[in-house]
Chains A and B, each alone.
With several copies, the nearest count.
Chain A
Amino acid sequence: MTSLLDFLRGSQGDGRFVPPSKLTGRLTLAAAAAMSFLAVFALVLTMAAHRQAALWGQTLAGTATVRIASPHEPEQVQAALVILETTTGVNAARILSEDEHAALLAPWLGPDLPLQDLPLPSLIEVELSPDGIDTLGLNLRLQAEVPSATFDDHSRWRAPLIDAAKRMRNLGWAALGLTFATLAVMVALSTQSALASNKQEIDVLHLVGAEDRFIARAFVWRFTGRAVAGALLGTGLGIIATLLLPNDPAAGSFLTALPPNGLGWLVPFLVVPLVAAVAYLATRVTVMRLLKETTL
């Protein structure tokens, strides 16, 4: 623990030759924290969008219907069932019971309609595997053996939601990409600028015989430490904010919970090594540039 604190304070290595946080130094910490916070938030939302898209895709893409127009011909229904069961991509197929049928039609027909008296088509509910199904092949086979059967994969209903889910996912990635790009830019810039305000110290160290490596090491550790501290702070706050997000969508609703689940919780912590890497590179490049600038 002490050595971690030492590391964060930069006292490891040659950190004591680096002036302690000035106003400009605190900027690195604050920038890393603020940007990590946003990044965690964007990450959590993108993950939720992904799960949401998956949920919508599953719920809707997972089922299809086969309608057999000629009523009261059980052998046709059976033939269709056999075909379905031998089709790759079909997990299960099941004839809809009359009650289920009635429930489906209730909004349009009312609950009291005597369905048994109607020449209603039979419906088979098909559960699809996530790998998809060869719709064309299935249609051809059905047409050959059960001409009165129609396969309906609900795509007409599914399309807009699938679209919405896809777009949500894409926007999530775009926002995430932008946030991370801004994160990298801000951490790099704030590190650079904090470092630039230590130009005098760099010059003095060089004048009294410090090699470039020595100077770079002293500053790189200190600034990377500050950025990591900021990233930890920001990530922590981001996770707290995530926990405050609505967590319990109504059971059976179309919405997933927003916070990640299980191992998903580990993903936001990826922000920390990212920030560390950006800060490390930014410091190194800037120190080296500042050193090259001095003719001394």
Chain B
Amino acid sequence: MIELQNVTQSYGGSALLTDVSVQFAPGSFHFLTGPSGAGKSTLLKLLYGELRPTRGHVQLFGIASTNMARDQLARTRRRIGVVHQDCRFLDHLSLAENIALPLQIAGQLTPADRQNLADLLVWVGLAHRSDALPAELSGGERQRAALARAVMIDPEVILADEPTGNVDWEMAQRLLQLLIELNKMGKTIVLATHDLNLIRAAKTQVEARVLRIRDRQVQLAGASL
């Protein structure tokens, strides 16, 4: 589905990741962890094509991102839901409109979509804020909105960068529950997080693999968690 092949990534200076190969199989659930600044966000950006690898290849649904034209990349993004670490929205549209935005761009909103949107807002606890502008949301509310937007387009892959950093433990578990349900429906999930409790909680319910970035390599964390 998505695959890194001998990827080296650097921002001008020394490399952040060297010769990394990882496969994200359909229906798998991956956690991505590692100290702050290790390159978790960088890895996720490679997975949805915001970055192109300095060396090596990133295969997105069988095509190398380096070979994709911009518009092809844009269309590929409709199959990948992304929660960015800094949640960016269109500041002049309401929360509900922002969450529906990817669908609107891809085509028309069906009544079923509207129902999904309403349900989703209830699940992430934002039903009462659906008319608020992004600037009027709290930090945690923005993160939940970003997750809702990523899920809304019914993507095959969901990449979430620290989606629970600003929410309380109860809400974090609720969001995790949502992702686990989606994974059970066959979606591939990659979740970057610092919260080891969250990873432990997930492991009781789903077969999740934990990837740790260390020494510019992506390692599979063993039973230590």
- State the A residues within 8 Å of B (CB): 16-17, 19-20, 200-201, 203-214, 291, 295-296
CB <8 Å contact, B70 and A213 = no
CB <8 Å contact, B90 and A209 = no
CB <8 Å contact, B90 and A206 = no
- State the B residues within 8 Å of A (CB): 49-52, 70-71, 74-75, 77-78, 82, 84, 88-93, 101-102, 105-106, 149, 153
CB <8 Å contact, B77 and A209 = yes
CB <8 Å contact, B52 and A203 = no
**Inside 8 A of B84's CB, which chain A residues have their CB?**
207
What are 15 A-B residue pairs whose CB atoms fall within 8 Å in the complex?
A: A17-B105, A200-B91, A204-B88, A204-B89, A205-B90, A207-B82, A207-B84, A208-B105, A208-B149, A209-B75, A209-B78, A212-B70, A213-B71, A295-B51, A296-B50
B133 to chain A, nearest CB (A): 11
CB <8 Å contact, A207 and B105 = no
**Inside 8 A of A210's CB, which chain B residues have their CB?**
74, 105
Given contacts A205-B105, A291-B70, contact A211 B88 (CB under 8 A): no
**Chain A: interface secondary structure?**
helix
Determine the distance from Cα of A19 to Cα of B51 in the docked complex, in whole angstroms: 26
CB <8 Å contact, A19 and B149 = no
**Inside 8 A of B92's CB, which chain A residues have their CB?**
19-20
Determine the distance from Cα of A213 to Cα of B75 in the docked complex, in whole angstroms: 12
**Chain B: interface secondary structure?**
loop
CB <8 Å contact, B52 and A209 = no
Minimum CB distance partner of B78 in chain A: A209
**Inside 8 A of B93's CB, which chain A residues have their CB?**
16-17
Determine the distance from Cα of A19 to Cα of B91 in the docked complex, in whole angstroms: 8
CB <8 Å contact, A203 and B78 = no
**Inside 8 A of A291's CB, which chain B residues have their CB?**
70
Given contacts A209-B74, A295-B51, contact A200 B88 (CB under 8 A): yes
Determine the distance from Cα of A213 to Cα of B51 in the docked complex, in whole angstroms: 21
**Inside 8 A of A212's CB, which chain B residues have their CB?**
70-71, 74
**Inside 8 A of B88's CB, which chain A residues have their CB?**
200, 203-204, 207
**Inside 8 A of A17's CB, which chain B residues have their CB?**
90, 93, 101, 105
Given contacts A19-B90, A200-B88, A201-B90, contact A207 B71 (CB under 8 A): no
Minimum CB distance partner of B52 in chain A: A295
CB <8 Å contact, B89 and A206 = no
Interface core residue of A16, A203, A207, A212 (most chain B CB under 10 Å): A207
**Inside 8 A of B89's CB, which chain A residues have their CB?**
204
